[in-house]
Amino acid sequence: MSSAEEMLDRADARSVADFAAPSGRDLLKRTHPFVDWTRARSAAGEWPYTRSLHGAPEPVAEVADSQNRLVKGLNFASQDYLGLAAHPAVRAAAAHAAMELGAHSGSSPAFQGQTRESLTLADELAQLLELQHVMLFPSG
- The series of mean pLDDT values per 10 residues for the chain, 140 residues long, is 58 81 90 91 80 84 86 85 86 92 76 83 96 82
pLDDT at residue 7, as a whole number:
57
pLDDT at residue 126, as a whole number:
97
Residues 46, 52, 55: CA angle, nearest 5 degrees: 130
pLDDT at residue 91, as a whole number:
92
**What 3-state class would DSSP assign to 20?**
coil
pLDDT at residue 140, as a whole number:
58
pLDDT at residue 109, as a whole number:
73
Find the distance separating the first CA and the last CA of the chain, reported in whole Å.
Answer: 49
pLDDT at residue 14, as a whole number:
85
pLDDT at residue 4, as a whole number:
52
- Which among 60, 84, 87 is positioned nearest to 74, based on CA atoms? 60
pTM of the model: 0.50
